[in-house]
């Protein structure tokens, strides 16, 4: 028996979710966000599969290089932009599109000699207050880059929303207003929308949408699940039952004696732990699924194992498959029991887990 710790990736679900994006934003091009190993789903496999999107978005140069090395020819937009002159050269060599958010990047590009020009996006900070030029700097940066022969015109402009997944819309509307106001005189393509804005703010769709989490079938709003928006989870994480323990009432399970048997009962030991990316903070009672029944976590998550309450499945047998999250069990639910968000759980699946694409 293999350890059986497997992440099944349903490529058809990715396509379905992209078609949801297209239905919501039919007039926008799609920059598919595949940073952080495509949210844990496998950077190259996802990029090779997603032929129906217009471009890919990654966080950093290394991710972009991996894509080109694997033969991906679509445009690649790198959210962090370029750091130094050496990186700038890599952007031109491989035709990557940097997101320019700071003056040091503008200077690095302007100081370049003759090259084959590339596209660039300029990021304006409308309220996230991480990356981006202040709104009142945007016009100056845009104008300063007009004569730059290294960049294809028109340049694109973008911003990122900090609160689009919340129902309190006033902050988001102030970000949208700021963006509209300061980019009014700019003729280049414009982009605002992450998944939450694609779902909740149609006015933000503009020329490019940038879906991430919803492409993987997961809700950007932690209180909902992907199914609430007709999305299908692309990842189903499973492991196997590797031991069954008969314990007595009051027996404790695992490190720190954190799980206590309320009665004489069977405990299942499952071949997954935080070394595989299952969250160590998952509390007692976090659901897992065995044979369609909920088997709650009992005791602490270890590096290589978890222990589950088998009372709902008297017939459970060694080798049975246990689902940690996915089709029948939303990752959003597991995240809620672990004080985190689905994004973190998906990104956190480690290399010890076997990936099956189907
Ligand atoms: C990650 C990211 C997105 C996608 O966000 P989701 O919430 O996953 O849809 C969009 N834009 C930028 C700049 C990002 O970094």
The pLDDT score that the predictor gives to residue 113 is 82
What would the two tokens of residue 179 be?
A: 């963006």
Concerning whether 255 is annotated as a catalytic residue, the answer is: yes
> Are the C-beta atoms of 8 and 358 separated by less than 8 Å?
yes
Residue 233 to residue 239: CA distance in whole angstroms: 17
- Token pair of 67 as six digits: 């894509």
Of 142, 171, 255, 357, catalytic: 255
303 close to 274: Cβ distance less than 8 angstroms: yes
- The ligand 1 atom nearest the CA atom of 79: 13
- pLDDT value at residue 19: 98
pTM, rounded to two decimals? 0.96
How many distinct helices (H) and strands (E) make up the chain? 11, 18
Q: What is the pLDDT of residue 85?
A: 87
Question: Residue 51 corresponds to which tokens in the numbers above?
Answer: 């032929």
Ranges of residues in the chain with a pLDDT under 70 are 1
- State how far the Cα of 161 lies from the Cα of 127, in Å rounded to an integer: 7
| Domain architecture of the chain: domains with CATH | 11-216 (3.20.20.10), 235-357 (2.40.37.10)
What does the H/E/C string look like for 217-279?
Answer: CCCCCCCCCHHHHCCCCCEEEEEEEEEEEEECCCCEECHHHCEECCCCEEEEEECCCHHHCCC
Alpha helices in the chain (DSSP H): 11-24, 35-39, 43-49, 61-69, 85-94, 103-110, 135-145, 170-183, 195-200, 331-337, 342-347
Q: For ligand 1, what atom is nearest to the CA of residue 39?
A: 8
Reading the block at residue 174, the tokens are 């102030």
**Ligand 1 centroid, distance to 185 Cα (angstroms):** 25
User: For residue 31, what are the contacts with CB-CB under 8 A and spacing of at least 6?
Assistant: 53, 54, 55, 56, 57, 77, 191, 208, 209, 210
Ligand 1, atom nearest to 220 Cα: 7
Q: Round to whole Å and give the CA distance between 77 and 86.
A: 18
Q: What does the pLDDT read at residue 81? A: 87
Q: Which two tokens stand for residue 344?
A: 């973190």
> How far apart are alpha carbons 301 and 339 in whole angstroms?
14
Position 168 scores a pLDDT of 75
Distance, in Å, from the CA atom of 150 to the CA atom of 153, rounded to the nearest integer, reads 10
pLDDT at 191: 98
Whether ligand 1 lies within 6 angstroms of the CB of 160 is answered as: yes
Q: Which of 35, 123, 190, 232 is catalytic?
A: 35
Please work out whether the CB of residue 132 comes within 6 Å of at least one atom of ligand 1. Answer: no
Three-state DSSP state, 204? helix
Q: Which residues contact 123 (CB under 8 A, 6 or more apart)?
A: 81, 99, 100, 101, 131, 132, 133, 157, 158, 159, 160
Q: Is 38 in the pocket of ligand 1 (CB under 6 A)?
A: no
36 CB under 6 A from ligand 1? no
Query: With contact defined as beta carbons under 8 Å apart, do 212 and 231 qualify?
Result: no
């Amino acid at each position: 028996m293999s350890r059986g710790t497997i992440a099944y990736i349903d490529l058809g679900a990715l396509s379905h979710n992209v078609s949801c994006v297209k239905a919501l934003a039919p007039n926008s091009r799609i920059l598919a966000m595949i940073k952080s190993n495509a949210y844990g789903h496998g950077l190259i496999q996802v990029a090779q599969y997603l032929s129906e999107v217009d471009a890919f978005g990654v966080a950093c140069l290394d991710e972009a290089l991996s894509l080109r090395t694997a033969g991906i020819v679509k445009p690649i937009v790198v959210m962090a932009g370029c750091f130094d002159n050496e990186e700038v050269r890599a952007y031109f060599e491989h035709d990557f599109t940097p997101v320019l958010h700071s003056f040091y990047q503008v200077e690095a590009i302007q100081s370049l000699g003759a090259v084959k020009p590339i596209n660039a996006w300029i990021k304006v900070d409308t309220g996230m207050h991480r990356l981006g030029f202040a709104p009142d700097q945007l016009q100056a940066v845009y104008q300063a880059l007009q004569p730059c022969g290294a960049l294809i015109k028109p340049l694109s402009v973008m911003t990122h929303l900090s609160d689009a997944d919340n129902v309190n819309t006033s902050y988001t509307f102030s970000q949208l207003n700021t963006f509209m106001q300061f980019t009014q005189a700019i003729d280049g393509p414009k982009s605002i929308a992450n998944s939450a804005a694609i779902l909740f703010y149609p006015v933000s769709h503009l020329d490019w949408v940038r879906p991430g989490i919803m492409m993987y079938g997961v809700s950007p709003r932690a209180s909902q699940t992907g199914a609430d928006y007709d999305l299908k989870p692309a990842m189903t994480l499973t492991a196997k039952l590797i031991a069954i323990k008969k314990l007595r009432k009051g027996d404790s399970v695992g490190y720190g004696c954190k799980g206590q048997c309320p009665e004489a009962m069977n405990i299942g030991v499952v071949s997954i732990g935080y070394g595989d990316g299952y969250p160590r903070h998952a509390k007692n009672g976090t659901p897992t699924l065995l044979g369609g029944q909920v088997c709650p976590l009992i005791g602490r998550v270890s590096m290589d194992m978890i222990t589950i309450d088998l009372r709902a499945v008297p017939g459970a047998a060694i080798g049975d498959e246990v689902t940690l999250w996915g089709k029948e069990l939303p990752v959003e639910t597991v995240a809620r029991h672990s004080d985190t968000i689905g994004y973190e759980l998906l990104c956190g699946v480690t290399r010890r887990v076997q990936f099956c694409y189907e």
